Amino acid sequence: MSPDQPSRIAQFLEQHDKELLLAWVEHQRQSVASRRDLIDEGELREQSQQFLRLLREAAALGGNDVAGPRWEAVRELLRTLSESRARLGFSPSETALFVFSLKAPLFGLLRQYLGTDARVLAEETVNVTGLLDNLGLYTTEVYQKSREAIIASQSQEMLELSTPVVQLWDGILGLPLIGTLDSARTQVVMENLLQRIVDTGARIAVIDITGVPTVDTLVAQHLLKTVAAARLMGADCIISGIRPQIAQTVVHLGLDLTTVVTKATLADAFAVALQRVGLSVVRSAAPR
């Protein structure tokens, strides 16, 4: 690509800026994919105007390497736009069409003003097509990545919601684990538990694993890690909800749970916990 070609398109964009913006916004308005239900015309016009300006500035700097540093401002605009549209509920195509929809009005103007020189027209068309194709694809990529990030953060939220720490009594916390305990979950469990220990000054935590389907070597390690972490914060743990199958697995796999107190039921564990903190339950009067 020769050095004067990029600046030619930049010049063209400069000369026909207003006309192009008008044509482009009109073109987008008429397209169903512009999703006027999700975005209003004022905002669309503003985004389009900004894009044209940044496109012009980047093109003036030369080169058509849209991944390079000269095109960073354009990429940033497209990133912001793509992320906000992903959040608004645009599909990936609808988002990419923002860029692709510029082609028709731009080609129209190119034909109108450069139509007499076929060679130049052809070169500029190819040039512009390359630029806009790459930018449109970039928009799709960013969209994908931001969807993935949203899904990841929703997973994280679900993870946190599914590991609540409850206060069973003064100084006694309960941690009912439901579902599998993998290393990601263990991190969340540990953070929640330790924070609650600090907040409530708890001395005992009862970790109930009734809802944990299988306990293998890894799960046992995760449990022991959690117990060790709580202990470093001055709180002892009791593991409850040991089903007969789990007891069998523990023995068969040779898992060493001797460092921690284990009980079959949460009720038994709670009784032990009360004892440990020096409390007892007394019947006050005959039940009504």
Partner 1 sequence: MERIPILKMGPVLLVSIQVDMHDQLALTLQDDLTDRIVTTRARGVLIDISSLEVVDSFIGRMLGNIAAMSRVLDAETVVVGMRPAVAITLVELGMSLSGVRTALNVERAMEMLKAATTDGHPPVDGHPSAGEDTDARRPD
Partner 2 sequence: MPVARTEKLPIQSSEDVVRVRQAVRLLAVASGFTLVDQTKFVTAASELARNTLIHGGGGTVELESLTEGRRRGVRLTFVDQGPGIADVQQALRDGFTTGNGLGLGLGGAKRLSNEFDLHSQPGAGTTVRITRWT
Nearer to partner 2, 210 or 221 (CB): 221
190 binds partner 1, rule: CB under 8 A: yes
Show contacts with partner 2 in window 243-262 (CB under 8 A).
256
Q: Any idea what DSSP says for residue 238?
A: E
Q: Applying CB under 8 A, which of residues 145, 185, 231, 276 lies at the interface with partner 2? A: 145
Write down the least CB distance from residue 205 to partner 1, Å.
Answer: 12
Closest distance to partner 2 from the beta carbon of 145 (Å): 5
Q: Is 70 in the site for partner 2 (CB under 8 A)?
A: no
Q: Which of 198, 253, 267, 279 binds partner 1 (CB under 8 A)?
A: 198
Least distance between partner 1 and beta carbon 226 (Å): 8
Q: Which does 152 bind (CB under 5 to 8 A by kind): partner 1, partner 2, none?
A: none
Alpha helix (H) residue ranges in the chain = 4-15, 17-30, 41-61, 72-88, 92-100, 103-114, 118-161, 183-200, 217-232, 244-252, 266-276
- Residues 6+ positions from 130 with CB-CB distance below 8 Å: 64
Q: Minimum distance from CB of 225 to partner 1 (Å)?
A: 5
Burial class of residue 49 (count of CB atoms within 10 Å of its CB; 0-12, 13-18, 19+) = middle
Q: Which lies closer to partner 2 via its Cβ, residue 38 or residue 149? A: 149
Query: Does 197 participate in binding partner 1 (rule CB under 8 A)?
Result: yes
Residue 92, SS3? helix
Contact assessment for residue 47 and residue 29, using Cβ atoms and an 8 Å cutoff: no
* Tokens at 285, concatenated: 């009067």
Rounded to the nearest angstrom, the gap between the alpha carbon of residue 153 and the centroid of all alpha carbons in its chain is 4
Cβ within 8 Å of residue 129, ≥6 positions away: 103
In the window 181-210, what residues touch partner 2 (CB under 8 A)?
187, 191
Q: Which helix H or strand E contains 206, and what residues bound it?
A: strand 204-211
- Tell me the per-residue interface mask from 208 to 247 with partner 1, x by CB under 8 A, - otherwise: -----------------x--xxxxxxxx------------
Query: Which chain residues interact with partner 1 by CB under 8 A?
Result: 187, 190-191, 194-195, 197-198, 201, 225, 228-235, 259
